Amino acid sequence: MDPLSLFFLSVIFLISFPSAVYSFGYLKNEASGKKQALALSLLVLFVAAMVWVVAARNLVVFLVAWEIMSLVSYFLVVFDSTQEKSVQAGTIYIVMTHLGTAFLVIAFLIMSKYAHAFDFASVKAACALMPEKTKNFVFICLFIGFGTKAGLVPLHIWLPFAHPQAPSHISAIMSGVMIKTAIYGIIRFVIMLLGVDSIWWGVWVLVFALISCLVGVVYALMEHDIKRLLAFHSVENIGIILLGVGLAMFFLSLHLYYLAVLSMIAGLYHLVNHAIFKGLLFLCSGSVYKATGTRDMEKLGGLIKNMPVTAACFLLGAMAISALPPLNGFVSEWLTLQAFFLGAGNVGSAGKLFLGVGAGLLALTSGLAAACFVKAFGIIFLAKPRSRQAQNAFEVSFSMKLAQVFLSLLTVVFGVASGVVIKLLAGICAFVLEVDATQMNFSLNNFVLSPQPGNALYLSPPLLALLIVVFGVFAFLAYTFFGNRKVRVFETWGCGYYKLDSRNEYTATAFSKAFRIAFSFFLLPYRKTQKIRESFYHVKSFSYETHTTPVFRKYFYDQILKIVFRSAKFGRRMQPGSIHLYLGYIFLTLLLLLVFMHKF
Amino acid sequence: MQAVILFGVLLSCPLMAIAKRAPALVRNFRLQSFFLFLATLSLGAGEGRVDLYIIAGLLFLLKVLLIPEILYRITRRIKANENIGLFINAQLSLFFVLGMMYAAWVFSKAMFPFAAVLKTTLLAAAFCVVLSGMFLMIFRISALAQIIGMLVMENGIFLLASTVSGGMPFFVEIAIFFDVFVSVVIMGFFVYQINKLFTHINVNKLSRLKG
């Protein structure tokens, strides 16, 4: 076990244990006893496969573990096999994941061809002697292979289908941990084994990471299904993690070792943070689903009254993913931004422009994520219930609450104790990048982060937390002593109308309308209206739907599918069912072989 | 002597290609098998090997007497139609087989450029027999023609083995004879059943079974 594997191992267990605890409450009354046992054993197998993936020291072993992980997660996606949606999602998932594995196999075969062995040590030695062109080709194959698993745009297509269909504790593990194994793959195979020596590799990773950030968050804003929303946020956050990794590759090829270590720390920090808060959010959304039986945000609302613990946990997770201080998401995104800024000061003018634009886009992404979670929290937990199920919701069982509270505490701990975490990560990153990091200081006294040596630029999450608490206390005291304390219980002000019900409430669609218009060049929204009239003057019903065009699916995947189906139809003509024709094929093959033999 | 026998084996190929009715096809097959028997016998006499005599005897018993007799019986039993049905008419089939003969000759010459002429010719003849068996299977409609085509191919392979490597091991040869005999019995039974079920044995109509 080297530090990198240990790091990923701890991330796996950090999320898997609470998820397993959660699953006891979640699956109760949901499935039969046999099916619960099956779920638990699949969960154990899934975690074991992931452990195996990060522990493997051999290309073939890695591939086998990788495949087991994919297959077990497929079974978990189609766990609720009575729903046709699950089966469909599973099919999309397994096709995409095998596409990725195919590229991995290509890359591994080329690597092992040069090494004449499969173990990492000899592969590493062989990769140093690989010609430039082959190296680039292997990099592209690895990037596509791992990018598919990570859910990078445009290979993300399976993620918003598969993650929501799995049971919620599995979604938490898949989104929190499984897609991170792809990051592990990129770090292990591209940075450590292959070795980065072209600048364009880092740029390439950065470009795709930025696209993933923006596309993920924009799609998440448009989503009303709470778990699909979270799945799109996974695309976004994988982008942010890869920004750190890509920056590390970029700086490594420019021999800016300090910056490379800093960016890698930012990437790995965001990785563990994302695992925590995305796991938390998926568990909370599972609780909401368990309590109300729906994942459609438009049918929820007012849950904070019936489910206070879940609401508090969801709020913490939402704040963390929106990068609000002093929670963990803030620290890692701040570090990534610092890496961008610090890098811009050390490269040429084109690099300055590129990194500047990257930092801007990252800031835009965080802003949009915050907007998205204002929508998610507001619509799900605040206001009046929008349906009977939401009205009758009740708080979930103890084991589920326990897992949620544990993970929400972690979001605070990883924010406040960032000085310690960053030191641990510095060691791992120094190992990964093969840089001596003993002279590099990223924090003062485990208390204040200081990523820019020389510049007086500090961040102290504990102090920040203290400041927030103190301000809060002061505000509360001021309110208690000087505020208007007379409490009046009255209906909410509703523009002078009375008898307002949930139908008058703001909806998720309405909230995201502004963003739909702002990003209409990409989302291509369209509307469908249908009037049913009794006569010209009397409209009996009027329906209005608004949709956005799934650009990647329509203009990329559907086109590919069309070509595949067309060629399959053409190929079918070869097989008309005539025995004579089949015999003729054999005969022709024989003749061709004879000619072939004659020629050579 | 060898040349005459070889000529007989080769001659039976175009004869089979132009046969339009099942009895004619079976007769030509019997002719080919007989020449093959003669070839094996002369090889055995030349080398004085007992196992070759036994193989020749088996060949005569099975391929000249028994199998053609079974095939005759099938044609009589199903009686509906003696035509084997040609996808390609007799003249064109003849051209095809002659073309294949030439191709086999070119091929065997290319394969063993320095071998004796007799050996090359034998190889070419064997190839030609295999190819014409295949030809029968593809371009004839009746299931009976397919059985005979397969048997002709088997003859060709026998010839190939005995020319290239001086015959297969004795026990292998015996096993193959047994296989061929059993397969003819089974296929005959199937053809009979197919005829009973569909009132014909036209294989090209099997595509109707397709879903």
* Alpha carbons B46 and B154: distance in angstroms, whole number: 24
Nearest CB among A577, A586, A598 relative to B207 is that of: A577
Query: Chain B: nearest CA to A578, how far in angstroms?
Result: 5
Q: According to the model, what pLDDT value does residue B210 have?
A: 63
CA distance readout (Å), A40 to A13, A340, A387: 15, 43, 33
Q: According to the model, what pLDDT value does residue A106 have?
A: 95
Report whether pLDDT(A363) > 90. Answer: yes
Report whether pLDDT(A594) > 90. Answer: no
* Alpha carbons B129 and B105: distance in angstroms, whole number: 12
B107 contact residues in A (CB cutoff 8 A): 594, 597-598
* Contact criterion met (CB < 8 Å) for A587 and B134: yes
Share of chain B above pLDDT 70, in %: 94
- The answer to whether B210 faces chain A, any CB pair under 8 Å, is yes
Give residues 11 to 50 of B whose Cβ lies within 8 Å of A.
Answer: none
Query: Chain A: nearest CA to B134, how far in angstroms?
Result: 7
Map tokens 């092992």 to a residue. Answer: A112
Nearest CB among B107, B138, B203 relative to A598 is that of: B107
Going by pLDDT thresholds of 50, 70 and 90, the confidence category of residue A148 is very high
Going by pLDDT thresholds of 50, 70 and 90, the confidence category of residue A289 is very high
* Contact criterion met (CB < 8 Å) for B207 and A587: no
* Alpha carbons A468 and A473: distance in angstroms, whole number: 9
Q: According to the model, what pLDDT value does residue A407 have?
A: 94
- The answer to whether B112 faces chain A, any CB pair under 8 Å, is no
Query: Chain A: nearest CA to B203, how far in angstroms?
Result: 7
Nearest CB among B111, B146, B210 relative to A577 is that of: B210
Q: According to the model, what pLDDT value does residue B80 have?
A: 55
* Alpha carbons A87 and B118: distance in angstroms, whole number: 67
Structural domain count of chain B: 1
* Contact criterion met (CB < 8 Å) for B206 and A598: no
Going by pLDDT thresholds of 50, 70 and 90, the confidence category of residue B108 is confident
**Burial class of A91 by CB neighbour count within 10 A (0 to 12, 13 to 18, 19+):** middle
pLDDT digits (tens, 9 = 90+) for A8-56: 999 999 999 999 999 988 888 777 888 888 989 999 999 999 999 999 9
- Residues A406-410, mean pLDDT to the nearest whole number: 94
Average pLDDT, chain A: 89
Query: Chain B: nearest CA to A585, how far in angstroms?
Result: 9
* Alpha carbons B21 and B140: distance in angstroms, whole number: 11
Query: Chain A: nearest CA to B200, how far in angstroms?
Result: 16
CB A189 within 8 A of CB A107: yes
The residue range of the domain holding B11 is 2-209
* Alpha carbons B130 and B46: distance in angstroms, whole number: 25
Q: According to the model, what pLDDT value does residue A509 have?
A: 86
* Contact criterion met (CB < 8 Å) for A577 and B209: yes
Nearest CB among B103, B138, B204 relative to A584 is that of: B138
- Residues A139-162, mean pLDDT to the nearest whole number: 92
* Alpha carbons A23 and A150: distance in angstroms, whole number: 24
Q: Residues with Cβ < 8 Å from A484, sequence gap 6 or more?
A: none
Q: According to the model, what pLDDT value does residue A186 have?
A: 94
pLDDT digits (tens, 9 = 90+) for A365-377: 999 999 999 999 9
- Residues A355-373, mean pLDDT to the nearest whole number: 94
Nearest-Cα residue of chain A relative to residue B109: A598
**Top-confidence residue, B27 or B170:** B27
Give residues 535 to 594 of A whose Cβ lies within 8 Å of B.
Answer: 576-580, 583-584, 586-587, 590-591, 594
* Alpha carbons B53 and B72: distance in angstroms, whole number: 27
User: Which one of A575, A579, A593 would you mutate to disrupt binding with B, by most B Cβ within 10 Å of its Cβ?
Assistant: A579
| CA geometry: angle A266, A453, A336, nearest 5 deg | 20
* Contact criterion met (CB < 8 Å) for B107 and A594: yes
Q: According to the model, what pLDDT value does residue A66 have?
A: 95
Query: Chain A: nearest CA to B166, how far in angstroms?
Result: 22
Going by pLDDT thresholds of 50, 70 and 90, the confidence category of residue B211 is low
Joined together, the tokens standing for residue A500 give 């307002």
Other beta carbons less than 10 A from residue A505's beta carbon: 18
Q: Residue type at A111?
A: M
Where residue B199 falls (left for φ over 0; alpha for ψ -120 to 50; beta otherwise) is: left
* Contact criterion met (CB < 8 Å) for B138 and A597: no
Going by pLDDT thresholds of 50, 70 and 90, the confidence category of residue B141 is confident
User: Which one of B134, B152, B210 would you mutate to disrupt binding with A, by most A Cβ within 10 Å of its Cβ?
Assistant: B134
- Residues B89-116, mean pLDDT to the nearest whole number: 87
**Top-confidence residue, B144 or A180:** A180
Query: Chain B: nearest CA to A570, how far in angstroms?
Result: 17
Three-state secondary-structure class, residue A364: helix
* Contact criterion met (CB < 8 Å) for A578 and B137: no
Report whether pLDDT(B88) > 90. Answer: no
Q: According to the model, what pLDDT value does residue B122 have?
A: 84
* Contact criterion met (CB < 8 Å) for B87 and A580: yes
- Residues A299-312, mean pLDDT to the nearest whole number: 90
* Contact criterion met (CB < 8 Å) for A578 and B207: yes
Q: Residue type at A545?
A: E
pLDDT digits (tens, 9 = 90+) for A445-483: 667 777 766 666 778 888 888 899 999 999 999 988 887
Q: According to the model, what pLDDT value does residue A385 have?
A: 87
* Contact criterion met (CB < 8 Å) for B206 and A579: yes
CB A209 within 8 A of CB A186: no
**Top-confidence residue, A570 or B163:** A570
- Show the beta-strand stretches assigned E in A414-479: 443-444, 448-452, 457-459
Q: Residue type at A51?
A: V
Distance of CA A62 to the CA centre of its chain: 22
Three-state secondary-structure class, residue B48: coil
A594 contact residues in B (CB cutoff 8 A): 103, 107
Q: According to the model, what pLDDT value does residue A243 have?
A: 95
Report whether pLDDT(B162) > 90. Answer: no
* Contact criterion met (CB < 8 Å) for A578 and B138: no
Nearest-Cα residue of chain B relative to residue A587: B134
**Top-confidence residue, A339 or B87:** A339
Which one-letter DSSP state was computed for residue A324? -
pLDDT digits (tens, 9 = 90+) for A78-130: 988 788 888 999 999 999 999 999 999 999 999 999 999 899 999 999 988 88
B146 contact residues in A (CB cutoff 8 A): 579
Q: Which of A301-305, A440-444, B60-64, B67-71 has the lowest mean pLDDT?
A: A440-444
Nearest to A175 by CA among A50, A279, A65: A279
Buried b (16+ CB within 10 A) or exposed e, A27-61: beeebeeeebeebeebbebbbebbbbbbebebbeb
Provide the ipTM.
Answer: 0.77
